[in-house]
Each structure stands twice: as structure tokens, then as C-alpha cells.
Structure 1
Amino acid sequence: MEQLTIVKIGGNVIDNSENLHRFLQDFTALSGKKILVHGGGKIATELGTSLGVEAKMVEGRRITDIETLRVVTMVYAGLINKNMVAQLQSKACNAIGLTGADGNIITAVKRPVKTIDYGFVGDLDEASVSSETLTSLLEAGLVPVLCAITHDGDGQLLNTNADTIASAVAVAMSAVYDTRLVYCFEKKGVLRDVEDESSLVPEIKAGDFEGLKEQGVVSGGMIPKLHNAFEAIKNGVKMVYIGKADELPQVNTNDFGTRLIS
């Protein structure tokens, strides 16, 4: 099976043009087929604030009312996505920027209201991702750049957690390629003390996840990130890494951030 690397980028890397330039250079240099998935929550929050739309978060997840949906669509699918694609083209990486609606690549279901109404937020299942369309793009020599916007098939765009998209895409593509999933952000990986870069947890097993949550080692936005990662491993993804964006080349030597294993 040919190798496919799916990289999710987020956090301060997207906000800082110098960091983003370096990351995209390293991403371009990765050998084999690859897919880039990105968020951009901080920029969406800043633009929303300037437009009078305040961000509302619960357990690291954004509440998406109709005004927020407009903002995140503009930022994720427009500003950030096309900027990344243009930069990748400048590095001779033939990228194509996409939402889930383009080519019907990712369909989602609006999250049902339970204790919290998340608004226009899309949840994914095992049938959400069109591996056939993504495979045809990859085989044509294109590098898909997927943003955190999906659709419901009935004309409604939905905001979907980019970590969830990366995990679902990795699971779908693992039937076609030998797939590894890499989450990149501004920290070295999962840290026992978020202020201490030397407190890296090099490896986490699925069985240790609940304990680390109870200890507070894993909290906030890291909870859905790890949940998605372990779901991916359970469903056929060979390896998942979480680490610092500017250390991406080290993924080839298996010496990158925190490794997640079953």
C-alpha cells in the first residue's frame, strides 16, 4: 500500500506568516501523497469580534450561530484556505483548496440539541467522507487542502471541528493507502505541564486517555483532539502523532511529538 500523510495544522502557526511559510515548506517536502487539513479559529474569533460577533466556546468547541457561521465560512473557506493554496503553489506543490461541499467530499449531519445547542455544527460518521473523490484528486497529482466547513447535502453549510475532519478523512483513506495522521500545533505535543516544553509525554496508549483527563494533563481543546486520534487508530489508521509544526520533518524518523497507539 502506498503511503498517505494527512497533516492537520492549527493554532498560532496559521496566525503567524513566518511560521506558516516555514510549515508549508516542510509540508511540501514530505514525500509521497498528502492532504492538508486546517482550522483557523483564532483568526475567525478576531474577525468576528471586529464585526461584533463574539466567540462562544464549550469544552474547546465553538458554538456556531448563523452570524458565526458566516464568519467562519469567510475565514476558513476563503481567507485562510486560498492563502495557503497560493503559498503552496509558490513552492511547486499543486494544491487544491476545498470545503466539504466541493465535489461532495464531506457531508455532515447537524449536531442534535442535547444539553447544549451547538448551532450550525456538523458531525461526521463513517460514510461522511468520499474517499473515491479524494483518491482521484491524489492520483491526479493534486494535494487537497481541506478547511473546517462541511455541508449537509440539503444546501446548508456546517462548521465542523478540523481535528474531527482530519480523523474522519484518515479513517476513510486508510482503506486505500497506508495512512498516518499528524496533528501540528504550537506545542511539542501532549505536555504534563503546558508551560514546560521538556514535560513531553512521548507516547499515550488508548487505555491511558481517561486517566490523563482526570489528572488534568489532557484538558480543553486537547480532549477532542485525542478522542479523534484514538478513534482513527481504532478504525485502521496506522499511526497518529501530535507535535510542534516546526518539527514536522522529524515525523519521517518517528521522532515527532507524542505518538498515540492502541
Structure 2
Amino acid sequence: MKTLKVIKIGGNIINDDAALRQFLEQFSKLEGLKVLVHGGGKLATELATKIGVEVKMINGRRITDADTLDIITMVYAGKINKTIVAYLQANNCNAIGFAGADGNTIISDKRPVKEVDFGFVGDVKTVNTKTLDIVLNGNIIPVFCAITHDGNGQLLNTNADTIASELAIGLTKNYEVELYYCFEKQGVLKDVNNEDSVIEIISTNTYQSLIEEGVIADGMLPKLDNCMHALKHHVAKVCIGKPEMLFQKNLKFTTIKK
């Protein structure tokens, strides 16, 4: 079974054009099958502010009304996704952009209203890999943005970390899948103020104790939940750290293990 890497990028890598170009130049040289997933929340917020659409957040999560959905579709599936594909093509790396509606790859349910109405936000229900298998077999790299659909014509804003995890799980049917979350930190830190305090191994046994100690909290908690979810569903390896972990040896980063 061939190895496939699902790599999610976000944060400063997306927001800084020079950093994005540098990453994609290195990414294009990375051998083997690979799928790229990207976020882009900061750029969507900047555009919303520029055109006068109120940005509503609750506990760090975006409320996606109709106007906001238009903006994130333009930014995620348009500006960012096509820029990434263009930069990859400039590095002789053939790629094609995807939202969940493309090839019917990711179908989501609109999140039900409970204490909060998040609007047009999707929770992934189904990943269809048939189209992806064709693309990957053609040596073309799928580049996914954080937009899915409900199968009935409605686009939905969907967490990019979750998309990466669910894609990784869906692709385990035909590949040995490794999942990488790349962001600006070295990995999961024991002390958020100390970049050298990387927890290099987190297992399912130590995960809960780290939550109880408050080491894993806030935005890192849902990211780690996605990691654990992937491991429970046959993803072979999950790593969190700076993108350099993909290209350089002897770097510290966090590996999540069963």
C-alpha cells in the first residue's frame, strides 16, 4: 500500500505571502503522494472588514451568515486556493483546487442550532475518494479549501483541521496515510511561552492527563481532538509542528500515537 501525506497549513503560512511561497517551493519537492489542505480565516476577516461586513465570533468560532459565507467562499475557494495552485504550478508541481462540492468529495450536514446558531457551518458527514483516486493516480496534487457542501446545493463553512482529518480517514481505504498539521509553533508545548518545551510524543494514554493539567487547552484542544479521531480511524501517523518538520531532520515536533 502506497504512503500518502495529508498536510494542513494555516496561520502565518497562509497570511504571509513570502512564507507561503517558500513553503510551496519545498512542498513541491516533497516526494510521494500528497494532499494539501488550507485555512484562511484571517484573510477572510480582513476582506469582511474592508467591505463592511460585521465579523461575528463566539469562543473563537466564526458565525457564518449568508454575507460571511459569500466572503469566505471568495477568499478560501477563490483567492487563497487559486493562488496556492498557481504557486505550485510555478514550481512545476501539477495541482488542482478543490472545495468539497468538487467531485462531490466532501458532504457535510449543516450544524444544528443548539445554544448558538453558527449559521452556514458544516460538520463532515461523508468523504468520497473516487475522484481523488483518479487525480492522485494522475500525479496531480489535490488542494482543498475549507468549504464543503450538503449535497443539495448549499455550500458550508467547515473547519480546515476537520477537513484534513476526515480526508485522511477517507483515504485510508487505499493508502497508508500520514497526517501533518503545520503551523507557527514547534508543536504542542508544555509551556506556551517556551518554544523549547515541545511535547514530542502524545499518546491516547497521556492525552487526557494533559487536558486535565491545562496543557492542552483553547485552540489546541479541537486540533488534538481531530488528531485522536484520525488515529482511531486507521490513520497511521499524525504530527503537529512547523512545516520544516516535513523537510528537515532532527527537528522537534509533536507526534500523536495510539
SS in 2 for 1:35: strand
Q: CA deviation at 1:254?
A: 8.2
Aligned match of 1:258: 254
Contact 1:37 1:162 in 2 (8 A): yes
Contact 2:245 2:251 in 1 (8 A): no
Distance (Å, rounded) in 2 between the aligned partners of 1:198 and 1:103: 42
Aligned match of 2:203: 205
| Residue identity in the other structure for 2:101 | A
SS in 2 for 1:55: coil
SS in 2 for 1:97: strand
Distance 1:47 1:101, change over 3 A: same
Query: CA offsets, 1:212-231, max 9 Å, x none?
Result: 22333222221111101110
TM-score by length of 2: 0.96
Within a 5 Å distance, the mapping from 1:98-137 to structure 2 comes to: 98-125=98-125, 128-137=126-135
Aligned residues, how many?
Answer: 258
Within a 5 Å distance, the mapping from 1:13-32 to structure 2 comes to: 13-32=13-32
Distance (Å, rounded) in 2 between the aligned partners of 1:217 and 1:27: 31
Q: Which runs of 5+ in 1 are unaligned?
A: none
Deviates more, 1:156-165 or 1:62-71: 62-71
Aligned match of 1:9: 9
1:224 aligns with 2:217: no
Distance (Å, rounded) in 2 between the aligned partners of 1:193 and 1:21: 30
Q: CA deviation at 1:256?
A: 5.3
| Residue identity in the other structure for 1:46 | E
Aligned match of 2:73: 73
Two-structure CA RMSD over aligned residues (Å): 1.4
Q: CA deviation at 1:255?
A: 5.0
SS in 2 for 1:124: strand
1:158 aligns with 2:152: no
Aligned match of 1:214: 212
SS in 1 for 2:225: helix
Aligned match of 2:56: 56
Q: Which runs of 5+ in 2 are unaligned?
A: none
SS in 1 for 2:54: coil
SS in 2 for 1:28: helix
TM-score by length of 1: 0.94
- Give structure 1 regions of 4+ aligned residues with deviation exceeding 6 angstroms: none
